Amino acid sequence: MTRLFTLLAASLLASPALAFPVTVDNCGEPLTFDTAPSRMVVQDINMSEMAFALGLQDRMVGVSGISGWYKTSPEFEARRGDIPEIAPKYPTLENLVAVSPDLFFAGWYYGMKPGGDVTPDTLAPHGIKTMLLSESCIHLDKSRPAASLDLLYDDMLRLGTVFGKRPEAEALVAGWKARIAEVGKRIAQDNQPRVFLYDSGEDKPFTAGRFAMPTAMIEAAGGQNVSAGMETSWGTTSWEAVAASDPQFIILLDYQDGGGADKLRAFLEAHPVMRHVEAVKAGRYLALRYEQLTPGPANIDGIEALARAMHPDAF
């Protein structure tokens, strides 16, 4: 019996889920963990949902950047439980140091800005490692490829690896890939509506470019992003450029404040140029939340909703 116990223990320790140290890619740089983090802070609702999907609440000592901008759901709040929010928008260095984390899961313009108060370099002296959201790596490396769903898949697998939950992460990703494959089977590839994502802005629209997750989502749902030629992730363009592309469908980013999607729609319908594009004249809109349009588990629901809205006869 003692020998059997010893062999079983050795087998468990050798399993991929428990094998440390582990090293993951972090915007092209290695990030190594000798043990799984035990005190993580997560920025934004989308990255929090990644952590929740792996059941990491007991490793989280804080979230940041949620209540200052976004709507949450009762389901999100139930999963969050009593995890405190350390800052409603971007955290300060003091906010983070005060809760003594060993990991900050964030990204460039997702809780951090290049040259700002909070960066991997400013956190490191305090014993805080930073795992960067893959979509945001474009701000460090302009040679990266256009956005794809691999940004989401890879981040989930990295998170699973770091916390010794690689099999669980692989199962989640496999399920998401199966759902996306089912969408692809249903939609007609020769009918790809032109899609404009309206995030915010009145003088100039803020939208998703080549390197932002919505470009990959729109393609997976059987459409084409009219702003995919923008060599950025998220950025501004002109109303004239959007109108010239004559979008056939519009995604409205439904923030919690300022009237949300209803205000965006009313603005477009009164705009001297945009009110003449096909999508506005036909009333073809879909409101999606922030966490559905930034890398996270809700992307899959967002793609399915968008595919049904653009290709109703296929569902």
pLDDT tens across the length of the chain (315 residues): 444 334 444 444 444 446 899 999 999 999 999 999 999 999 999 999 999 999 999 999 999 999 998 888 899 999 999 999 999 999 999 999 999 999 999 999 999 999 999 999 999 999 999 999 999 999 998 899 999 999 999 999 999 999 999 999 999 999 999 999 999 999 977 789 999 999 999 999 999 999 999 999 999 999 999 999 999 999 999 999 999 999 999 999 998 665 789 999 999 999 999 999 999 999 999 999 999 999 999 999 999 999 999 999 999
Q: Give the number of residues written for the chain.
A: 315
Tokens of 266: 């009313």
Q: What pLDDT shows up at residue 258?
A: 59
CA atoms within 13 A on the CB side of 225: 28
Structural contact between residues 61 and 48, judged by C-beta atoms closer than 8 angstroms: no
Closest CA to 152 of 46, 225, 42: 46
Q: What pLDDT shows up at residue 259?
A: 72
Tokens of 239: 């109303």
Q: What pLDDT shows up at residue 191?
A: 86
Closest CA to 298 of 68, 76, 55, 27: 76
- Which pTM was predicted? 0.92
Structural contact between residues 118 and 91, judged by C-beta atoms closer than 8 angstroms: yes
Q: What pLDDT shows up at residue 18?
A: 61
Structural contact between residues 287 and 252, judged by C-beta atoms closer than 8 angstroms: yes
Backbone angles phi, psi at 149, to 5 degrees: -70, -15
Closest CA to 103 of 154, 151, 135, 60: 60
Residue 218, helix vs strand vs coil: helix
